Amino acid sequence: MSDFLDNPSFDPRDIEALLHDVPLEVTVELGRARMNLSELAAHLGPGSIITLDTPTGAPLDVRVNNRLVARAEAIAVGEKCGIRIVELVGGKDS
């Protein structure tokens, strides 16, 4: 990497162009549930319902590479699930 930076033809503005292709993982968290192994074993199966800690209608956490960046609401996009960003949180961890 230092060879790249030491190259006399290197332009620091090129970094932005290089970063555009870096893959990121975006996740949306619906909620969490805490239970012990026996509770999980009893509740894990087809038709089982697990109650999450997120109230209905509450904004969902949007994370990029596991860093909280926004809150969103769940929406339908045709036949798929989607989100609508309702708040940016400045990349602070939560």
Domains of the chain (ranges; CATH) run: 24-94 (2.30.330.10)
Looking at residue 13, its pLDDT comes to 76
Helix (H, G, I), strand (E, B) or coil at 76: strand
CA 28 vs. chain centroid, Å, equals 4
Do residues 69 and 89 lie in contact, with contact meaning Cβ atoms separated by under 8 Å?
A: yes
Under-50 pLDDT residues of the chain = 91-92, 94
Q: What is the DSSP code (8-state) at residue 57? A: T
- Bridge partners of 22? none
Q: φ, ψ for residue 37 (rounded to 5)? A: -60, -40
DSSP 8-class letter at 71: E
